[in-house]
Structures are given as C-alpha cells and as structure tokens.
Amino acid sequence: MNNLATNPERTAEVIKTLMKWYRESRDGLLAGAELPESKPPGDVTRGSYEHIMFLTLTVAIDYQRSAAKLWDSARITWEDAQTRWVFFPEEVANRDLDQLVAALAKHKLSKKQKKDAEIWKKVASSFQSLFQGDPRKFFEAHSYDAFEIYNAMRGRYAKQFPYLAGATGTSKILSLWIRMLSDEARIAFKNLDKVPLPIDIHTARATITTGCLVGKFKGTFKKLAVQAQEAWTEACKNTEYYPLQLDEPLWNLSRLGCSKRKNGSSCPEKHQCRLVVYCTANTSDAVITISKNGATSIDTKYPER
C-alpha cells in the first residue's frame, strides 16, 4: 500500500517556518540543537586538510549507529597520539588491515570492527592512489562543483569509495559528506542546490510529521527515502532554500521532538514546537513506524487548520 501524497505549496510554508525558527531563535525543543560532527578535535583548524580527512573518513562509516557516539569516538581517536594515524591516507595505505582494526576499535570508533576497517582502508587508500591522499585534488578536478562531485562518486568512483560514494539507494552518506564539507569545513562548492537531501531515520520521520508526505504507506525504507528526497526537492522550488540546507534542522527536529512521540498517543513535545499547526502526529490515530531493516508503516492525514 502506497498512496503518500505531497503538497509542495504547504511544505514550502513548513520550510520557511522551520528555517526561520532554526536560524533566528532556536528555542523550544530546538534549544541548544547542534550536530555531533560540528566540533573538530581540539587542535584541528576548521577547513584544514586534517579537518577534511577527519570528516571524510569518519562519515564513511556513519551507518546503523549513534551519530553522537561515532563522532565522540572519532575525536578521542584523533586526540590519542597512538591512533591519530588512521586519519592520514598514506599511513593507512601502508599499514596492515589488522593494525587498522585494532586502532579503530581502541576507542570504539568502529562498530563492526573488520567491516568498518575494510571500508576505512579502501576509502583512504583510494584517496592516496588517485588523489595523492588529498580530497581537495578530487574537488579541483571537478571545479568544486558539488553536483559533478556527487555524480562522479556515484559513477566512476563508486567501487573505490564504498559507502562514501553511496552507489546505491538514496546515497545518504555521499550527500551528508558534501553537506559536512560545506557547512563544517566551509568549502566553497558550486551547485549545492542540486545535491539531494540525505535521508536517514530522523529526516524520514520529520518528512512525515511535517506533512511533506502524508497518507498511507507500507514498504521499504529505501522506497520511502526516494519519495522523501523528491518531495523536499519539489517543495524547495517555492522557497529560497535548497534541500541540503534542510538536513540539520530536520534531523534535529526529529531527534529532539518527533522521535519522542509513540504510536497511539499525541506528540509530548507539541507545546515546544513551532510547527505544531502543520504536524500530522498530533492525534493518537497517526501511525509512524520507520525502520531501515524492518517494516515501515505510515498512516497520517493533514490536521484541520
């Protein structure tokens, strides 16, 4: 069953309200909202080569785990002189996989130890062999065009950069990487507006609670994610914003608000939410069950206004 619908004009109102809330006041349930990757290690200069590698290699294993724990572990791994080497492609390329497994496991940077180490080593070694260990050379080759970089990763370089390239599905990590490099490392990319919104559990949930997609759905997370990307892209056309700019506020909206709501009840955070008049989860009959590996089920409707 899949009859999810979208109303781009209505969602444009949601976007404008959300962005004003997030950029100008950040009160209520968004008070103190931030991103786990926003703090570089203590001795790392924002936008430096070291910062770029810190973001790039860590985000490559950002799947099926707590983002806060991942980035905390990454910072500790950097600050440990015995494990900092994992963030330098030349060092990684010249070390045995077993050494990398041990280094990533020391501060729990890896969750699936061997798999994460294999991903990390492949990504680092590919940057070393193709771009002298420096992602900026890759960006230069594509004139710092974010959309060209996105397409090159998904196409020509998909096998060299597992997970980071996002060669299948909705390419969550690839879009996320580009957004992090722009927002956190302050790299001046062109055509950021053409890169799709990364969809994870939180942005998917916020897509439903805000009514960007409304109706009934039973199916896979992947199918929902594709529809969510398309819906946000269409709605942004009626605003001054582009999809990547929505990633941080939507993620925090769900993490701090929408995720607190349980099926069979209304949202406990509604009194702190500026989007309450748009919310599809304010009644006990709304069903929002989103899982990447299990059943995803949705049954919502627009509230009366």
**In sequence order, what DSSP letters do the residues of 117-138 get, joined into one string?**
HHHHHHHHHHHHHHHTT-HHHH
Cβ atoms < 10 Å from Cβ of 280: 22
Cβ–Cβ under 8 Å, residues 57 and 123: yes
- For 179, the token pair is 């957004």
Q: Can you give the pTM of this predicted structure? A: 0.94
pLDDT of the residue at 74 = 98
pLDDT (0 to 100) of residue 1? 67
* 266 three-state secondary structure: coil
Higher pLDDT, 172 or 80: 80
The pLDDT-based confidence of 163 (bands split at 50, 70, 90) is confident
Helices then strands, counting H and E runs in the chain, come out as 12, 3
Instruction: Please give the share of the chain, as a percent, with pLDDT higher than 90.
Output: 89
Which residue type sits at 58? T
Which phi and psi (to 5°) does residue 72 adopt? -65, -45
- Taken as a whole, the chain contains a residue count of 305
Rounded average pLDDT over 159-182: 85
- pLDDT, mean of residues 204-212: 97
pLDDT at 282: 86
pLDDT for position 283: 86
Q: With residue 288 as reference, give the H or E element that holds it.
A: strand 287-289
One-letter amino acid identity for 112?
A: K
Q: What is the pLDDT of residue 293?
A: 79
Radius of gyration of the chain (CA): 20
Amino acid at 12: A
Do residues 186 and 254 lie in contact, with contact meaning Cβ atoms separated by under 8 Å? no
Q: With the CA atoms of 173, 179, 181 and 185 taken in that order, what torsion angle do they form, in degrees rounded to the nearest 10? A: -140
pLDDT at 167: 56
Residue 188's region, left for phi above 0, alpha for psi from -120 to 50, else beta, is beta
Mean per-residue pLDDT for 111-133? 97
Q: Encoding tokens for residue 101?
A: 């497994």
Q: What is the mean pLDDT of residues 221-238?
A: 94
Nearest to 164 by CA among 185, 180, 145, 184: 180
Model confidence at 171, in pLDDT bands (50, 70, 90)? Answer: low
Q: Which is more confidently placed, 167 or 277?
A: 277
Angle at 115 between CA 250 and CA 79, to 5 degrees: 70
Class of domain 8-34+196-299: mainly alpha
CA distance 184 to 245: 13
Is the pLDDT at 278 greater than 80? The verdict is yes
CA–CA separation, 122 and 124 (whole Å): 6
Distance CA(261)–CA(169), nearest Å, equals: 28
Residue 109 has pLDDT above 60, yes or no: yes
Q: How confident is the model at residue 292 (pLDDT cuts 50, 70, 90)?
A: confident
How do residues 19-56 score in pLDDT, each as one tens digit? 999 999 999 999 989 899 999 998 999 999 999 999 99
